[in-house]
Structure 1
Amino acid sequence: MKTLLRTLLIPALALITLGAIYFLSAFLGMIIPVGPEKEEYPKEVEIFVHTNGLHADFVLPTTHEVHDWKDVLEGKHFGEFETPYLSIGWGEKNFYLNTPTMADLTAPTLVKALFLPSTSAMHVDYMYGKPREGDHASSIWISEQMYLELVDYILGTFELEDGKAILIDHDGYYDYDQFYRAKGKYHAFWTCNNWTNRGLKKIGLRNSLWTPMDWGVFYYLEK
């Protein structure tokens, strides 16, 4: 009996210890800033960072003088109605496709997403308007040059064919979202929120050193 308990206890303690180290690392990575505290630049394009409680995504104007996402994203939605904004996120493909709500989350899906380098996908929501600022979204005004740099960063994550994003043949969560093929592997140390965090830092905005959680992405945006 003691041998059995020891056999069960050691792996359990190891998992708890690893989990504690991971979350402590996430906290420390969150509070360490990267980028200038304040920098003056023209406020020319309004973008948003939005979260659904798990994934922090970018919300961008569908069409702007410096970039038109309709040139890249081919889908049924653009032909049916005008959507002034779209939300773009990167994440684990299996999680994206098969977990529309937390009620759909299964243990194998979670374990694979956390512990195994997995295929990724892009998720695009076509939005009728701006997200409301508050607990789930932050507005950021950036220059046109910064916006172009952000567009380049995001496009660098899409798999493209003849300059077009490659649509994944799978239903979205609603009638106004789609999935596209993406580059990169998803794992516990490179999550959807790390991707958004890096995009902000790429264009010179102050953000956390490393943040696998969505709350870390917002930590410096809200200061």
Structure 2
Amino acid sequence: MKSILRILLIPALVIIGLGAFYFLFAFLGMIIPVGPEKESFPKEVEIFVHTNGLHADFVLPTTHSAHDWKEVLDGKHFGDFETPYLSIGWGEKNFYLNTPTMSDLTAPTLVKALFIPSTSAMHVDYMYGKPRVGDNASSILVSEQMYLELVDYILETFELKEGKAILIDHKGYHDYDQFYRAKGKYHALWTCNNWTNRGLKKIGLRNSLWTPMDWGVFYYLE
């Protein structure tokens, strides 16, 4: 009996140890800033970073003089009624499609997402208005050039065919969201929040060095 318990205990301790190191490095990566401490650019376009408690996504104007997302996305509601903002995120395809809420999360889905480099997807919510700034969303004013750079970063992640994003055959969580094919592999070192974090740094905004968690994305936005 003792030998059986010892056999079971060793992998459990290994998993706990790996988890502890992962969160330690996530914390260290979060508190190390990258980017200018002071902002010095025109404030021309309002964008948002929003979280559902797990995924930190970008929220962008659907149509702007700098870029019109209607030229890229096959929006469910385009032409029916106003959807002035889009929430755009990148993540693990299986996790996205099969985990609409945390109560739907299963151990195999979590293990695959974290430890096996997996196919990714883009998730787009068509929003009826601005997100409410607070615990779950931060507003950021950027220059038009920075916005275009962010658009390019996001477009580079979509799989495109003749300039249009490729829909995934999935009904979505609601009647106002869709999934699209994406580039890149998802794993523990490159998560949905790493993707958002990298986008912010790419356009010159101060953010964490490395953060697989959504709270790290918001650490320098508050």
TM-score by length of 2: 0.99
Alignment of 1:33 onto 2:39: no
Hey, what does 2:201 align to over in structure 1?
201
Hey, what does 1:121 align to over in structure 2?
121
Q: Distance in 2 between matches of 1:185 and 1:76?
A: 27
Q: Distance in 2 between matches of 1:75 and 1:63?
A: 12
1:74: how far off?
1.4
1:200: how far off?
0.0
**Residue type of the partner of 1:9?**
L
| Match runs of 1:51-90 below 5 Å | 51-90=51-90
Q: Distance in 2 between matches of 1:163 and 1:66?
A: 16
Moved more, 183-192 or 2-11: 2-11
Q: Distance in 1 between matches of 2:87 and 2:76?
A: 16
Question: How many residues align structurally?
Answer: 222
Q: Note the alpha carbon deviations across 1:154-195, whole angstroms, 9 max, x for none.
A: 000000000000000101111100000000000000000000
Q: Distance in 2 between matches of 1:80 and 1:175?
A: 13
Q: Distance in 1 between matches of 2:55 and 2:79?
A: 27
Alignment of 1:2 onto 2:2: yes
Percent of aligned pairs with the same amino acid: 88
The secondary structure found in structure 1 opposite 2:171 is coil
The secondary structure found in structure 2 opposite 1:123 is strand
Consecutive unaligned residues in structure 1, runs of 5 or more: none
The secondary structure found in structure 2 opposite 1:59 is strand
1:82: how far off?
1.8
1:76: how far off?
2.7
**Residue type of the partner of 2:95?**
F
1:75: how far off?
3.0
Q: Distance in 2 between matches of 1:15 and 1:104?
A: 23
**Residue type of the partner of 1:22?**
Y
1:2: how far off?
1.8
1:125: how far off?
0.2
Q: Distance in 1 between matches of 2:98 and 2:31?
A: 33
| Match runs of 1:130-149 below 5 Å | 130-149=130-149
Q: Distance in 2 between matches of 1:167 and 1:22?
A: 34
**Residue type of the partner of 1:60?**
L
Q: Note the alpha carbon deviations across 1:120-150, whole angstroms, 9 max, x for none.
A: 0000000011000110000000000000000
Contact 2:121/2:183 (CA < 8 Å) preserved in 1?
yes
The secondary structure found in structure 2 opposite 1:80 is coil
**Residue type of the partner of 2:183?**
K
Hey, what does 2:187 align to over in structure 1?
187
The secondary structure found in structure 2 opposite 1:82 is coil
Consecutive unaligned residues in structure 2, runs of 5 or more: none
Q: Distance in 1 between matches of 2:158 and 2:18?
A: 32
1:39: how far off?
2.2
Contact 2:76/2:177 (CA < 8 Å) preserved in 1?
no
**Residue type of the partner of 1:73?**
L
Contact 2:48/2:140 (CA < 8 Å) preserved in 1?
yes
1:5: how far off?
1.3
The secondary structure found in structure 2 opposite 1:215 is helix
Hey, what does 2:216 align to over in structure 1?
216
Q: Which runs of 4+ in 1 moved over 6 A?
A: none
The secondary structure found in structure 2 opposite 1:140 is strand
Hey, what does 1:157 align to over in structure 2?
157
1:204: how far off?
0.2
